[in-house]
Amino acid sequence: MPLINISDIVKTYNHTSVPVHALNGVTLSVEKGEFTAIVGPSGSGKTTLLNIIGGLDQPTSGSVVIDDVDISSMKKDELIDFRLWHIGFVFQAFNLIPVLTAQENVEFIMLLQGVDKREREERTKELLEAVGLGERAHNRPAELSGGQQQRVAVARALASHPSFVLADEPTANLDTKSAMALLELMEHLNHEHGMTFLFSTHDSRVIQRAHRVVTLEDGTIKSDAINEQAHA
């Protein structure tokens, strides 16, 4: 079984008098170890698709199977628990807790999981060192650059030992140097540790380095191609 298997996903919003069809029958599978970008113009359905895969939103119809578990019909509390144990998230706006230090932000997920203090501290130290921020563990987000904050977000995403990481426009708020450093970090985690990454992005820098590029347009998949340049 693929790590992620979504079948005939439809998402319709009825917030206005005219229904909005964000996704129209999307079928996609992702294998463990992929480094895949979902691309397309604004309004194509990229973020909606990622939110449905991540259990942050539910489809109008269709199925979402992750780690051989169908999450598309789960109740809200079941989805919260599933996300906690299976999915890492990296957001465009970082979404760090401003009053917590880098160390505390990374530890937070493990605290929710009930991991004991010593293990939390050891894993947090290991992760912050892995993302090049071992010396910034006690800094709060406001004391870090955008690139450093996003690195903390990556460390936090990995803290729960997730099955995969969803990254929604992770480089959008970063300068070129920070964006490239972040991409190199995620590529390293993918190559050396087999971590699966699924991005939504407009960023050509991400698209060029993705191993697979899935293009959405008007809520449907227009193309799904291996990026030979990234594999070279």
pTM confidence score: 0.90
Compute the average pLDDT of residues 8-31: 91
Cα separation, 192 vs 153, in Å, equals 19
pLDDT of residue 64: 96
CATH number 2.40.30.200 given to 4-231: no
Residue/partner pairs of 210-215 with CB below 8 Å, 24 or more apart: 210/35, 210/36, 210/37, 211/34, 211/35, 211/36, 212/34, 212/35, 212/36, 212/37, 213/36, 213/37, 213/39, 214/28, 214/36, 214/37, 214/38, 214/39, 215/39, 215/40
Q: What is the pLDDT of residues 24-60, one digit of tens each?
A: 999 999 999 999 999 998 889 999 999 999 999 999 9
Of the segments 2-6, 15-19, 43-47, 74-78, which one has the largest average pLDDT value? Answer: 2-6
Q: Are 143 and 134 in contact (CB under 8 A)?
A: no
Q: What is the mean pLDDT of the chain?
A: 92
Q: What is the pLDDT of residues 156-173, one digit of tens each?
A: 999 989 999 999 988 888
Cα separation, 197 vs 194, in Å, equals 9
| CA torsion angle 14 198 56 9 (round to 10) | 40
Q: How many other CB atoms are found less than 10 A from the CB of residue 164?
A: 23
Q: Which helix (H) or strand (E) holds 231?
A: helix 228-231
